[in-house]
Structure 1
Amino acid sequence: MNPSSDYIIRIYRYKKDKPQSFVGVVEEVGRKGKRAFNTYDELWEILNSTKKKESKIKALFPGGRE
C-alpha cells in the first residue's frame, strides 16, 4: 500500500510579470515544521524530497518504522 502525503501550501506573494518568482511556505500535515520556497522549482524540490525520504525509510524498514 502506498500512503499519500497531505500538504498545506501557502502562497504569500506572486508577481504577474514574473511567474517563476513567488514566495510561500509548505507544511506536511501531521508533521512539525515548515519549509519556505521562492520559486516553482523550490516548491517542487520540497514536495519531491519528502517522497524520497519516505522511500528511503521504507527501504531501510520494510515492515514499518522502528
Structure 2
Amino acid sequence: MHLATYIVRIYRSKKGKPRGIVGVIEQIGVKGRKAFTDCDELWETLSSSKKIRLINKEKKTNFIKQKTNLRSK
C-alpha cells in the first residue's frame, strides 16, 4: 500500500468557527496545488486523491495485462 504525503497550508481560520479554514494542499511528487475554503473541501481533496491513485493503479495494471497478452500471441 502506498501512503501519500501532503503539505497543507492554512492561511486563515474564522474565530469561533473551527471548520472555517482557508488554505492550499499539495501532494508531494505531484505538480500543482488545490485550494480549499473549509474542512469539507480539504477532506474531499484528500479522499479524492486516494481514489485517483487507485484508478491510475488499476489502469496501469490493465495496461500491463494487455501488453503481456499481446506478447504471448
Alignment TM-score > 0.5, same fold? yes
Gaps of 5+ in 1: none
Gaps of 5+ in 2: 65-73
With the length of structure 2 as denominator, give the TM-score of the two structures.
0.79
Q: Secondary structure at the match of 1:61?
A: helix
Map of 1:18 onto structure 2: 17
Amino acid at match of 1:58: K
Amino acid at match of 2:54: S
Structure showing greater radius of gyration is: 2
Q: How many positions carry a matched residue from both structures?
A: 64
With the length of structure 1 as denominator, give the TM-score of the two structures.
0.86
Deviations 1:6-52 (A, max 9, x none): 00000000122111211000001111100000110000000011100
Map of 2:70 onto structure 1: none
